[in-house]
Structure 1
Amino acid sequence: MANQKNFHYLWLSFLVSSVGDWLYRLALPIIILQRTESPYHAATIFGITFIPWILLSLIGGSLADNYPKKQILILGNTFAIFASLFLIIVLSVTPLNFYLLYAAVFVLASVDPLIHPSFQSIIPEITVSEHFVKTNATVQTIDNTLSIMGPLAGGTIVMLIGGINALWIDMFSFMLAVLILCCLPQQKNTPRSQHIMRKLWLDMIEGARYSYHHRVILSGAMMFLMTNLALNMFEANFIFYMTKVLKYPLVDATLAMAIGGVGSLMASIFAGPVVTRYKAGMLLSSSTILAGLSTLLLLMNTNYLYIGVILGLMSFFGTINVITYFTLRQRTVPKEILGRVISVTRMISYASIPVGSWFGGLLLSWRNSMFIVIMLAGIIRTLAGILARLSPLGKEN
């Protein structure tokens, strides 16, 4: 029977693996920059981590609908253990083989899109409906708290023990997550589709057709396509900018990231009254424009505390933006097709992340200054908001 104790196992496994993820996010670019001094390779690797979300999201959703979710979560984290070990081995070899490195990063990044739908959809199976709000709030609180504490604590650990040792901790976090997930109750076998690949293809076609004809939802996905292009031109090169260009120690760079995380936490607190008070189209376009203009404020000062405050401002508007769009999508799309529309729109919006990461790193490798990268990112994000205001999305109530 579903009970709150079962959810405790789920959120504890999420917490453990998320802490490991923060170590991974900080350790990998530091290792690459130390080994190569190349912003191009660091930014390219950052972009590669998002490619599986474009390619595998729909498969993850289909797996969640056709197989026991507990097994998927355990197998996914077990696979991540070996993928992490493979990455550590590749990074330990001299000289660095970038083809193997890119492959190892891609394989490890493939776990999340394959198991994330199972994580989201197992909650109704292990807890009762009266606790849905509380359980979802718990997951969001963990995520927002780690966006503040993760950079500072993770950066300190990486600085003290080194990047490779931090990756070992990441690998052990997957092991601990598997042990915790084994405590979840056994599930009944989910009826399996006899032609899962055909079903996946038909689901994708139906979701794509609906998303294309629902011009408000499509306009929102295109807005996020431009937004993610701009955001990741800067974000993928943040560690390089702080530690190599501005010469700040890693702890100052991660402190700026932690301050930036406060913006997301504040947005999640104020989102309820804000989203219900204002029209969705106006709020989405305005928050995107304000996030773009906030990005341009990074050009005015290079003090790490100032940068942290501006990152907080950017993340505040960005989080309001995301919550508004998710709410709009849930309100307007029929429940029976919502999952497929979420997958299709996420694929569209994520498609520009690898491109933005790669392009930002390419500009820096051509000896262009970070000033150019930030300016382009701010202009593109502001333009995305203006175009959204003129699109069907901007007219949505």
Structure 2
Amino acid sequence: MLSHNSKFGCLWLSFLISSIGDWLYRLALPLIILEKTGSAYHAATVFGVSFVPWVLFSLLGGSLADNYAKKKILISGNAAAGLISLFLIFILQSKSINFGLLYVAVFLLASVDPLIHPSFQSIIPELTVQKQFVSANAALQMVDNTLAIMGPLLGGTLVTFLGGMSAILIDTLSFFIAALILFKLPQRTERTRKNRPVRGIVQDVVTGAKYSFQQKVIFSGSLMFLFTNFALNMFEANFMFYMTEALNYPVIKATIALALGGGGALAASFVGSRIVESFRAGMLLSSSTILAGLSTLLLLFNQNYLYIGIVLGLVSFFGTINVITYFTLRQRTVPRHLLGRVIAVTRMVSYASIPVGSWCGGVLLAHGQTMFTVILLAGIIRTLAGVGAKLSPLGREK
């Protein structure tokens, strides 16, 4: 049972702490920008910039995970994120935001995740046995999904009463606390190669990329997420603008809608293990994507914040089942010595569309289109991504 696994418990706790900070950051930053500039374009662009490093540095992160001590990578990454976050606070304290420096700070902070995420994902098989993979992924998703409920409510309250800067300061502290917790992980669970030359790292990257592209099932999944993330972030990057500016809801009602959306994801984390074990992975991945896309279109029919929250819950339920299924499929089928690099390649491909989707949503709004258009396009694209997955090698995966 995972409840008796203290090694995984340390990883889980550090993830919980840093995820709390991430939620506060995710809420506070666009609100600070909107408050100071009133610009949906800048808010969406900053959101998009935060995903560019996934395209640039994911492969390097995968090579690091397969060659160096994952514990050290995770600790160093969280400590670096804390220092960069302090720099971001300094920039945001100015009365007039310097967007050049802001984009640099957001980019640097976002660069930490792609460098350490492969280590985080690939250390799970080292801390657990294979029969615990689904439970471990579900437990981590439960953190995300519980905070999808509590994060908006807590974050909205803090932003409302203490201000956005306080929320980002808490995020900064969370990085340092997470780093301290990670010191309790085992020193090294597998043999790693020290002093890996740059040429060797490049060769590792090429090997990981070749494997990922040749494994049609794994690569089909990353392509499915490429289009899914494009559609999702057309809407998600502009959610706070939609709720607070277009619909004129106070921040607390916007966060209530987000919290209701998190309820669906939390429900999926409880039943996810049973569902994933009961159905074919390919069928589950394609079907849940189609259902998430069709659910997105329900946002077109009502603008009540409670209704929006319930629909977001439905979308996040299918999205969470999607993630648990794909992570488990990847961990079970990819050789462990390649897992970090494969995680990096597939994450890089799937995240490449996030800044583009965010930017496209912001551009549409900046040029006079309404959120109706954004939501319609997002729902259609996500549905078609699921149809494409069903027709691909992924759809036939057992």
CA deviation after TM superposition for structure 1 residue 263, in Å: 1.1
Q: 1:111-162 deviations in whole A, cap 9, x for unaligned? A: 2222233334555667899987776654343232212211111111111111
In the alignment, the residues of structure 2 paired with residue 259 and residue 287 of structure 1 have an alpha-carbon distance, to the nearest angstrom, of: 19
Q: Is the 8 A contact 1:193 1:199 kept in 2?
A: no
In structure 2, how many angstroms separate the alpha carbons of the residues matched to 1:283 and 1:189?
A: 33
Shift of 1:253: 0.8
**1:351 counterpart residue number:** 352
5+ long unaligned stretches in structure 1? none
Structure 2 vs 1, CA of residues 111 and 333 (structure 1 numbering), >3 Å: closer, same or farther? closer
Q: In structure 1, what is the equivalent of residue 282 of structure 2?
A: 281
1:96 aligns with 2:97: yes
What count of residue pairs does the alignment treat as equivalent? 395
Distance in 2 of aligned mates of 1:318 and 1:217: 17
Q: Is 1:24–2:42 an aligned residue pair?
A: no
TM value normalised by structure 2: 0.90
User: Counterpart of 2:372?
Assistant: 371
The letter for the 2-side match of 1:261 is G
Deviates more, 1:38-47 or 1:327-336: 327-336
Distance 1:311 1:128, change over 3 A: closer
Match for residue 114 of structure 2? 113
What are the residue-to-residue correspondences of 1:219-258 with 2, within 5 Å? 219-258=220-259
Gap change, CA 1:128 and 1:218, over 3 Å in 2: closer
CA 1:146–1:266 in 2, change beyond 3 Å: closer, same or farther?
A: same
CA distance 1:78–1:279, change in 2 (3 Å): closer
CA distance in 2, matches of 1:26, 1:226: 24
Q: Which stretch of the first structure deviates more once superposed, 77-86 or 102-111? A: 77-86
**Distance (whole Å) between structure 1 residues aligned to residue 316 and residue 207 of structure 2:** 33
Kindly provide the amino acid, as one letter, of the partner of residue 366 in structure 1.
Answer: H
- Bigger shift: residues 187-196 or 100-109: 187-196
* 1:199 aligns to 2:200 (yes or no): yes
Matched AA of 2:117:
H
Q: Provide TM-score, normalisation by structure 1.
A: 0.90
- Helix, strand or coil for the counterpart of 1:110? helix
In structure 2, stretches of 5+ residues that fail to align are none
Superposition pairs for residues 1-397 of structure 1, below 5 Å?
A: 4-5=5-6, 7-122=8-123, 138-184=139-185, 186=187, 191-397=192-398
Q: Secondary structure at the match of 2:368?
A: coil
Alpha-carbon separation, structure 2, partners of 1:180 and 1:58:
26
Moved more, 204-213 or 84-93: 204-213
Deviation at 1:320, TM superposition (A): 1.8
Per-residue CA deviations over 1:356-387 (Å, capped at 9, x if unaligned) read 00110111111210111001111111111222
**More deviation in 76-85 or 183-192?**
183-192
Identity %: 65
Shift of 1:327: 3.3
Distance change >3 Å, CA 5–CA 221, structure 1 → 2: closer
| Aligned-residue offset at 1:20 | 1.3
